[in-house]
Amino acid sequence: MESSSTKKKEGLIEFYDSFSDMFEFFSSNTTIHGTIRLTCSKQNKMKTTFWVLLFLVTFGMMYWQFGLMTNQYWSYPTSTTLSVQSNLNNFPAVTICNLNPFRFDQVNGYINQLDRIAQQTIYTLFKYNASFATTDDEDVLNLDDIMNDTIDNPIFYFNNTIVLENLKEEASNPAQRLGFKLCNSAGSDCYYKSFWSGVDALHEWYKFHFMNIMWNIPPLLNVTNDTIMQNFILECTYSGFACNESDYIHFHHPIYGNCFTLNSRGENSKWSSVLPGKQYGLNMIVKTDQNDNMPLLSTTAGARVMVHSPLQPPLLEHEGFDIWPGRETSINIALEEVTRLGGAYSNCTDGEGLKFDLLYNTSYTLQACLHSCFQYQMIELCGCGYYFFPIPSTAQYCNYNMYPGWGYCFYKLYDKLLDRTLSCFKDCPKQCHETMYHLTAGTAKWPAPESKNWVIPVLYKRGGYNRTSDRSDVAKINVYFKEKSLKSFDDVPAMPVTLFLSNMGSQWSLWFGSSVLSVVEMAELVFDVAVMSAFFAYGWAKKRMH
């Protein structure tokens, strides 16, 4: 005969006479530690109260930990793993420039006018008679010789009202005394570009007029004249083999002059066999003298070198460095690759999802994106493009004949770029996959005084070198890998789903000593409570109707 104390009714679905019976059955049979104390000590109210409070505190602590772990999981944290591989793939691209920009015959008259005004400015400000050498006609480069179609120079006048002067009483910062004034097109507001350094002020003032003169000549001009390379790169070898024409591309930069990019596409199999050491790298002897074409625009003698990925544009003004003439410079490379997690973990990109098209015909880089974004904003706000960045085919470069207030607009916008307040820093995320070259350089005097007597004649016989001055005007450059290893930095989820569930299980086991089945038991209890509540509510409502 069934005991009267059994409150449970058996059937297809089990029910209880009261919630108290349901809870007593759950506490007596669950696998959750400590729950049985809630019923076995019910005759001692003090113990019951103690265990109820302890149970609630433990339950609260566990779910507090659950909340912390859940917030951490949904923040998508990452950790970085470092792996070192013993193989190297391809040699990087190397861009080298001679720091000697051309004079183009279409604008040479304006350049000469600017030089004369610069001489007068230097005398007015510093009481010094500067003398700028005028190039011979044969040194003036004609665009017809290097381009298929001629760029006709439109009617252009040199604006000699933008002068370099002492701005001590006008500039907001009296410490920066030397500069020039640029006003908007209406003349209602002016911007003072000022410097404490007189050299920097002269260079920036000269460069501003230079951009206005050169606006209709492409800033990066592809040139195919082989004699230009022969007059600059006297010798070139890679891994002991001579460089050939297919190894480089040649372009002209308005500031850095003749530039050559070796291994520009990264597709030649010759550059894929990589071993560490100077003898297996790129070795060049270059001529570093200058013809003083533009002494205020290019104030450095030597060469400009940049080591970069073949898929990256050579942004020399940001990442290049200068080579000292009369020296042998050895540059060893340590290669690193960085892989970042995209999606929910970060907003990194490899070029997808941008609000605009890159103006560089290369793969995505942060610097190329910032330049493109800045150029689009220049065109939108100022009506024209900044000369040293590429522009869309529908736009044209700025000059103060057609856009009188462009200088005022540009410097105000460029200040935002320098202060990182421009929206471009939000629109240009980091790269998801990035190749980084860490460079270490060392120099030694070259050629040594004891070797000079035979090195120079050999260069003269083999490379066509003809020394015309007493100063050192050659440099040797070695670019090579320091070691046969590649460091890879890969972002991985710091809390994947498996770790998240494992941590939650650890917390559940710590506070209650139970398992996943214990969670099912609690779910069963909640379900039973809901069913009994529904039946009780139905019975109460039925009684009220009668």
What CATH number corresponds to the domain at position 353?
Answer: 1.10.287.820
Write phi, then psi, for 268 (nearest 5 degrees): -75, 130
The yes-or-no verdict on residue 236 having pLDDT over 60 is yes
Contact 251, 101 (CB under 8 A): no
pLDDT, position 524: 82
Q: Domain boundary at 403, 429, 455, which? A: 429
pLDDT at 433: 92
> Could you say which DSSP state residue 429 is in?
P
Q: Does the pLDDT at position 209 exceed 90?
A: yes
pLDDT, position 463: 57
When pLDDT is averaged across residues 232-253 and rounded to a whole number, the result is 86
Mean pLDDT within 127-134: 72
27 phi and psi, to 5 degrees? Answer: -65, -30
Name the DSSP class of 258. Answer: E
Domain boundary (191, 215, 239) is at: 215
Asked if residue 45 and residue 32 are part of one domain, the reply reads yes
Count the domains in the chain. 4
Q: Which of 88-97, 123-132, 216-225 has the lowest mean pLDDT?
A: 216-225
d(CA 258, CA 102): 8
Shared domain check, 440 and 317:
yes
Does 499 map to a domain? Answer: no
Amino acid at 145: D
Query: Tell me, what's the pLDDT at 14?
Result: 55
pLDDT of residue 3: 44
For residue 422, being part of any structural domain is answered with: yes
Query: What does pLDDT average to over the chain?
Result: 82
Does position 352 have pLDDT exceeding 90, yes or no? no
How far is residue 488's CA from residue 326's CA, in Å, rounded to a whole number? 37
State the pLDDT confidence band at 512, using cuts at 50, 70 and 90.
Answer: confident
Spatial distance between the Cα atoms of 193 and 187, rounded to a whole number of angstroms: 16
Q: Which of 59, 42, 82, 56 is nearest to 339 (CA)?
A: 82
More confident residue, 265 or 365: 365
Spell out the SS3 assignment of 215-226.
CCCCCCEECCCH
Helix (H) or strand (E) holding 51: helix 45-74
Domain termination site, one of 164, 184, 215:
215
Assigned domain for 516 exists: no
* Region 98-125 average pLDDT: 86
132 and 277 both lie in a single domain: no
Q: Which residue has the higher pLDDT, 457 or 175?
A: 457
Same domain, 204 and 55: no
The mean per-residue pLDDT over the stretch 199-220 comes to 91
DSSP-assigned states of every residue in 349-418? BSSTT-SS--SSSS---HHHHHHHHHHHHHHHHHSSB-TTS---TT--B--TTT-TTHHHHHHHHHHHHH
Instruction: Report, as an integer, the average pLDDT of 333-337.
Output: 89
Measure the CA–CA gap between 460 and 54, rounded to whole angstroms. Answer: 93
Burial of 442 (0-12, 13-18, 19+ CB in 10 A): exposed
Within 8 A by CB and 6+ apart from 287, the residues are: 98, 231, 232, 233, 234, 465, 473, 474
pTM across the whole model: 0.78
* 226 and 311 in a common domain: yes
What digits encode the pLDDT tens for the residues 3-61?
A: 444 444 454 455 677 777 787 787 778 878 877 777 776 677 787 788 888 888 888 88
Using DSSP, state whether 336 is helix, strand or coil: strand
Distance CA 439, CA 335 (A): 9
**159 and 190 co-located in one domain:** yes
Domain CATH code at residue 305: 2.60.470.10
What does DSSP assign to residue 431?
Answer: B
Structure tokens at 291: 């013809």
Residues 47 and 186 grouped into a single domain: no
Weakest-pLDDT range from 131-140, 253-262, 483-492: 131-140
Q: Are 248 and 301 in the same domain?
A: yes
Residue 151 predicted with pLDDT over 70: no
pLDDT band at residue 137 using 50, 70 and 90 as cut-offs: very low
One domain, residues 334 and 467: yes
For residues 361 and 471, membership in a common domain is answered with no
Q: Is residue 508 part of a domain?
A: no
pLDDT digits (tens, 9 = 90+) for 461-495: 665 566 654 457 889 999 999 888 888 888 888 88
Q: Are residues 319 and 443 in the same domain?
A: yes
More confident position, 290 or 510: 510
Is residue 517 included in any domain, yes or no? no
pLDDT band (50, 70, 90) for residue 290 = low
pLDDT tier at 267, thresholds 50, 70, 90: confident
Same structural domain, 306 and 273: yes
Which of these ranges, 31-40, 350-359, 491-500, has the smallest mean pLDDT? 31-40
146, part of any domain:
no
Per-residue pLDDT at 176: 52
Which residue range is the domain that position 281 belongs to? 79-100+222-338+433-492
Radius of gyration of the chain (CA): 37
Is residue 70, in this structure, part of any structural domain at all? yes
Contact status, residue 276 vs residue 483, Cβ threshold 8 Å:
yes
Nearest residue to 98 (alpha-carbon basis) of 322, 248, 308, 319: 322
Residue 223 has pLDDT above 80, yes or no: no
Instruction: Please compute, for residue 493, the number of CA atoms within 13 A of its CA located in the half-sphere on the CB side.
Output: 15
Angle (nearest 5°) at CA 96 between 94 and 100: 165
Question: Once rounded to an integer, what is the mean pLDDT over residues 112-136?
Answer: 80
SS3 assignment, position 441: strand
Least confident of 61-70, 100-109, 253-262, 393-402: 100-109
Per-residue model confidence (pLDDT) at position 373: 95
Residue 297 included in any domain: yes
Task: Report the pLDDT averaged over residues 240-249.
Answer: 84
Residue 524 or 206, more confident: 206
